[in-house]
Chains A and B, each alone.
Chain A
């Protein structure tokens, strides 16, 4: 390098580049920026994405996320008002609504998380402990008529609730949102993600479920036996009915026919009762006499009167 002029020009070019680079910064769609001058925030937060300018070296760009951010609570073991121990795992969505305030009060997301932990965990504990378990599990009171039941003895298996899951989470959101607002945080939603029994409670619940199942099973078996007995009784009854009805109808028919026949005979025979007696007797004689019969006849009878002496 024999030429000092060359070095000077090169140095100047490098310096210019450094200044140029120091005076521009890029914000993408997910970011927002606070400009600080010697650590002190200057002006309004920059939220529009794109290429921006600042005073090089003196001013510094501090990036914050503009998106909705996650807060995932650690599972807590909490007793409910009705003394059941449950694990509650909740989550919330939040965003940095006021980056300046956020920057001043909390500095970064780690600070934010620890505050959110304190506030949200505390409120969750309060809300759960003040209410019965069912309030955190159920959301609505359904019309019992629309809840299908296995056996008709159970009218409704769903307890009536006062608040419900949605109202509880809304309550927690309503009490915590103003408290985190002073950190520049906007709390957008809070939900119970998981609610589960702690182990020994879970065992009791399983025992209860088993007992309940057994009850239903017994109920089914007894229903089966009862229904079978009823059908069997029905069979007996129908059998008797069918048989006796048939007997009755048959006897009626016979009786009617007998009566009719009697009437017909009577009507015919009434024309000459003596003649009827005579013809019937004749038939009877003819029918009753056979080879073993002994007849003792006197000549005074009609048949033999001529045997004695013809008159």
Chain B
């Protein structure tokens, strides 16, 4: 009497009763034992457990009758079955690549392998290689289970069509450089619309672009553009640096020139004012006794000047013819240096 083959709910094992020998003439006892076992099986199959991230959909003869929340619940044995859907879990699909080994440095497939998914035409009829992931949740488990056949594949096709539509409306430059964010949001929006239309029961959480590249054959020329861009920036920066090296310095120097001229001006004006003041004062004093003052100044000046003069020749008023005969050369020889003859105009 091996009852293992009867099976039962998952994980349940009937007690091994193969060694059990019924006592002779105890038919009633066997009936009771069978009845007890049967009711145990029924009891066991009327319970089911729904995990925290799931909901359970109860089907009675294939018909959806109710949806249950996480926890332990009851169902009619034999007539009802349960399908569990992880509605809380964030699900993910990868397009244009597959992760082989998830981890900190996740290992991904050779990009060549999924070229079919990733290569697409851009709006200016160029080619871009786009890899992206889509994260989604099951928001309507009923639709998710019963409305679309091959949902996984359908969702993948939807993704491909939507992404190609979005990329097809943009230039290759936009796709590869500035347009990423916008492509993500637009794709998510359109994908969500189609998911509603297809009654998939899926809510798209996020579309995230991964590697977006030009085709391999074109890559070097893209790099060249980047390089040229940097070259341009460098040339401009260098010219700016040269400008900054020269201009502030020359500004300072200009300031110096101006300030020095201002110094000159101050000097000039102050001195002239000083000179003028001195002259005025002198003139004022002079006016009171012009004749004698002039004479005094003259004589005083001469008294100061004459001692410093190297050679002095006094001529009598009447010896006028004598001048041409003077041995000027000897005279100068007596004095060192160049001869310089100064004749004071004298005053009257």
List chain A positions with a Cβ less than 8 A from chain B: 26-31, 48-51, 65, 67-70, 72, 91, 93, 133-134, 137-140, 142, 147-150, 157-159, 165-166, 188-189, 191-197, 202-203, 205-206, 208-210, 212-214, 216-221, 223-225, 227-232, 234-235, 238-239, 242-243, 245-247, 249-251, 253-254, 256-258, 260-262, 264-265, 267-269, 271-272, 275-276, 278-279, 281-282, 285-286, 288-304, 307-308
CB-defined contacts of A68 to chain B, threshold 8 Å: 147-149, 154, 198-199
Asked whether, in the complex, the Cβ of B161 is within 8 Å of the Cβ of A91, the reply is yes
Q: Which of B267-323 contact A (CB under 8 A)?
A: 267-269, 271-273, 275-277, 279-280, 282-283, 286-287, 290, 294-295, 297-299, 301-302, 304-306, 308-317, 323
Asked whether, in the complex, the Cβ of B218 is within 8 Å of the Cβ of A286, the reply is no
A303 to chain B, nearest CB (A): 5
When chains A and B are docked, how far (Å) is the Cα of A50 from the Cα of B342? 145
Considering the complex, give the chain A residue whose CB is closest to the CB of B339: A294
When chains A and B are docked, how far (Å) is the Cα of A251 from the Cα of B149? 94
When chains A and B are docked, how far (Å) is the Cα of A191 from the Cα of B257? 78
CB-defined contacts of A147 to chain B, threshold 8 Å: 170-171, 174
Partner of A279, one of B173, B214, B279: B279
Q: How many residues belonging to B are interface residues under a CB distance threshold of 8 Å?
A: 136
Asked whether, in the complex, the Cβ of A235 is within 8 Å of the Cβ of B228, the reply is no
CB-defined contacts of B106 to chain A, threshold 8 Å: none
Decide yes or no: A299 and B317 within 8 Å by CB, A48-B63, A265-B275 being known contacts. yes
List chain B positions with a Cβ less than 8 A from chain A: 59-64, 116, 119-127, 142, 145-150, 153-154, 157-158, 160-161, 164-165, 168-174, 178-179, 194, 197-199, 214-215, 217-218, 221-222, 224-225, 227-229, 231-236, 238-240, 242-243, 246-247, 250-251, 253-255, 257-258, 260-262, 264-269, 271-273, 275-277, 279-280, 282-283, 286-287, 290, 294-295, 297-299, 301-302, 304-306, 308-317, 323, 326, 328, 331-332, 335-348
Asked whether, in the complex, the Cβ of B169 is within 8 Å of the Cβ of A139, the reply is yes
Binding site secondary structure of chain B:
helix
The 17 sampled A-B contact pairs (Cβ below 8 Å) are A29-B63, A70-B150, A70-B157, A91-B157, A193-B157, A195-B164, A216-B225, A227-B239, A235-B243, A254-B261, A268-B280, A271-B280, A282-B298, A285-B344, A294-B328, A296-B323, A299-B316
CB-defined contacts of B247 to chain A, threshold 8 Å: 235, 238-239, 242
Considering the complex, give the chain A residue whose CB is closest to the CB of B127: A205
When chains A and B are docked, how far (Å) is the Cα of A137 from the Cα of B222? 23
When chains A and B are docked, how far (Å) is the Cα of A65 from the Cα of B302? 140
Decide yes or no: A308 and B317 within 8 Å by CB, A148-B174, A279-B279 being known contacts. yes
User: Which 5 A-B residue pairs are closest in the complex by CB-CB distance?
Assistant: A28-B62, A224-B232, A257-B265, A246-B254, A250-B261
